[in-house]
Amino acid sequence: MQPFLDGLRQLLGPADLLTDPADMAPYLTDWRRMFSGPALAILRPGSTEQVSAAVGLCAQHGVAIVPQGGNTGLAGGATPLGRAPQVVLSLARMTAIGTPDPIGMVIEAQAGCILQRVKEVAADCGRQLPISLAAEGSATVGGVIATNAGGVNVLRYGMARDFVLGLEVVLPDGTVVKGLKPLRKDNAGFDWKHLFIGSEGAFGIVTAAVLRLTPATRHRSVALLSVQDLPAATRLLGLFQDRIGETLSAFELISADAIRLVETQCGLGAPVSGGNWFLLVEAASSLDGLPAAVQATLEAAYEAGLLQDGTLAASEQQAQSLWALRKHVTEAESRCGKSLKHDVSLPLRRMGAFLESIQARLAGLAPAARLNIFGHLGDGNLHVNVVLGDTPLSIASRITGMVHDLVAEAGGSISAEHGLGQYRLADWQRLTPKTERDLAIDIKRAMDPKGLMNPGKAVPGTSHRQ
C-alpha cells in the first residue's frame, strides 16, 4: 500500500493525508461512540479535482472509500466497517458558499459546508433554508443530502431531497458529473441526482449542491401543550391542520418521561404539566393574523377537551426556551448511558397499538430498560429509543429486531430519516421483499461495479443477489 499512500500524499500534501493513529481517531468512531473501524488513512481533499483524483487512485488500488461529512449520522454510515483496505474521505475542507440569489431563491454550497452556516447566509439575504436538525451546527450539506435528512420542519417543507435542485458528484472511478443547474423545472430526461440523495455514500461522493430557498417568515408562534393520550395528540394535529394547516411548520411529540429526562439531565424546566404526552407546535407566516389564529385554535382545542395544559410563547426568547426542551431530548438520553435508537415511521392510526405492543414486549425482554419516545408526529415519524440501563448489551439486537418486526407488521419503515448505515442494514434485508432488495443490489452493481463505495452500508453487497 506504500505506493498508494505516496500517491495520495503527493496529491493532498502531508497535512491533509492523516496516517497517525491519534490524528485519525476522531474520524474512526461515530458521534454516539457505538461504531468504530480501521482505515489506512484519512483523506482531506480541498477541491472537487482533488476528490476526483483521490477516488481515481483508490479505484486503481482497489481501496474502499468511506465518505464523511460532520460525522453526526446516527446509523454508523460514516464509520469504516470490515477488514478490506479502506480510507475515510472527509469533505470538511470544502466549505465554499456561493452568493445566494434571493429572487431565484437558490444558493450553491460545497459538500463540507456546515448546514447552520448555509442557513445563516440564506437568512442574511432575507430567505431561509428550512432544513432544521439539532445537529445542524456540525452536519454538512453533503451529509444532509447523502442521508436525505429530515428534521423538525419536514411537515411543511419536506426532506432534504425537496431542496436539492442541482448536484455535483464524483463517481466511484473518479469521473466528475457536474449538474449544478439552479433550475426548479428540468424534465430533460432521467433526474439522476435522486440516485445520490439518501444513498449514504454508496454510489459516489457529493461535492457540491444547488439548494432551493424559501421566503423567510416574519411571525412565528410556538406552543408547548400537554395531552392525555396519543388519540388526543392526533386529533389535535387534525384540528391544527383544519384551521391553520398551511402555516404549521412543526408538530413534535415528546413523552412525559422524555421531558422529565431533559429536566433532570439538562437542568431545563417545562412550564406545562399534566398529561402523558407533550406537543411542541410551531406555526409561521408573514401575514399579521398568525398569533390570533393560533390563539383561536388553542381555545378550540381546550373547548374540545383535547388539552390538559399548555402555554403559548409570548416572545422569541420564550419560543426558544420551549424549543430547547425538544432539542435537548437526544442529549439528555445520551447522558443516561447506552441506548438503542429506532427511527421509525408508520401510519398515524396504528401508532397507539404499536407503542403498547413495544411496551409489553420490552417489559418481558429487558425489564431494566426504559423507553424514550419523541419525534415528528406530524410526519408519522417516532424515535422509539431504548435506554438500556443494566440490560446486557448482548440482547441489544434482539430488542432492535423486536421493534423492527413490529414496525414491519404495522406497515411502517425501519428508517424514517436516519438511513440504514451499518446499523440497520441486516434488519432491512430481513424485512424487505426480495424484488426490492435485488433492485437495490442491481443499481449498486451498475453504479459501483468494484464495490468500493462505502461497503456494508445502505445497500447489501452484490454477493447477496441470488
Ligand X SMILES: Cc1cc2nc3c(=O)[nH]c(=O)nc-3n(C[C@H](O)[C@H](O)[C@H](O)COP(=O)(O)OP(=O)(O)OC[C@H]3O[C@@H](n4cnc5c(N)ncnc54)[C@H](O)[C@@H]3O)c2cc1C
Question: Binding of ligand X at residue 146 (CB under 6 A)?
Answer: yes
* Site size toward ligand X, by CB under 6 A: 37
**Quick one: 126 exposed, middle or buried, by C-beta within 10 A (0-12, 13-18, 19+)?**
exposed
Question: Binding of ligand X at residue 414 (CB under 6 A)?
Answer: no
Please state the closest distance from residue 222 (CB atom) to ligand X, in A: 17
129 is written with which cell numbers? 433554508
Nearest to 243 by CA among 286, 289, 280: 289
Stretch of 4-12, 37-45, 145-153, 360-368 contacting ligand X, by CB under 6 A:
145-153
Among 12, 55, 78, 358, binds ligand X (CB under 6 A): 78
- As a residue count, the chain comes to 466
Stretch of 60-68, 226-234, 247-255, 272-280 contacting ligand X, by CB under 6 A:
60-68
Q: Report the largest interatomic distance among the alpha carbons of the chain, rounded to a whole angstrom.
A: 74
Please state the closest distance from residue 141 (CB atom) to ligand X, in A: 8
In the bound state, the residue with its beta carbon closest to ligand X is: 143
Question: Binding of ligand X at residue 179 (CB under 6 A)?
Answer: no
Stretch of 246-254, 365-373, 403-411, 414-422 contacting ligand X, by CB under 6 A:
414-422
Residues forming a β-bridge with 385: 372
Contacting ligand X within 203-242 (CB under 6 A)? 205-206
By beta-carbon proximity to ligand X, the closer residue of 96 and 353 is 96
Please state the closest distance from residue 180 (CB atom) to ligand X, in A: 14
Among 108, 282, 417, 427, binds ligand X (CB under 6 A): 417
Among 7, 151, 310, 380, binds ligand X (CB under 6 A): 151
**Quick one: 250 exposed, middle or buried, by C-beta within 10 A (0-12, 13-18, 19+)?**
buried
Q: Residue 8 and residue 411: Cα distance in Å, rounded? A: 47
Other CB atoms within a 10 A radius of the CB of residue 413 amount to: 17
**Beta carbons of 221 and 280 less than 8 angstroms apart:** no
Q: Residue 171 and residue 451: Cα distance in Å, rounded? A: 12
Q: Residue 466 and residue 462: Cα distance in Å, rounded? A: 9
Please state the closest distance from residue 90 (CB atom) to ligand X, in A: 8
Residues forming a β-bridge with 45: none
240 is written with which cell numbers? 391544527
Among 39, 53, 133, 171, binds ligand X (CB under 6 A): 133
Question: Binding of ligand X at residue 74 (CB under 6 A)?
Answer: yes
By beta-carbon proximity to ligand X, the closer residue of 100 and 112 is 112
End-to-end CA distance of the chain: 33
Stretch of 13-21, 132-140, 260-268, 349-357 contacting ligand X, by CB under 6 A:
132-140
Contacting ligand X within 6-45 (CB under 6 A)? 31
In 164-211, which ranges are continuous DSSP H helix?
193-196
Nearest to 348 by CA among 444, 416, 401, 439: 416
Among 50, 71, 128, 391, binds ligand X (CB under 6 A): 71
Question: Binding of ligand X at residue 135 (CB under 6 A)?
Answer: yes
By beta-carbon proximity to ligand X, the closer residue of 136 and 278 is 136
Quote the DSSP letter at residue 99: P
Question: Read out DSSP for 70-84?
Answer: SS--SSSTTS--SSS
Which residues of this chain interact with ligand X, rule CB under 6 A?
31, 66-74, 77-78, 91, 111, 133-135, 139-140, 142-144, 146-147, 149-151, 200-201, 205-206, 330, 417-418, 421, 454, 457
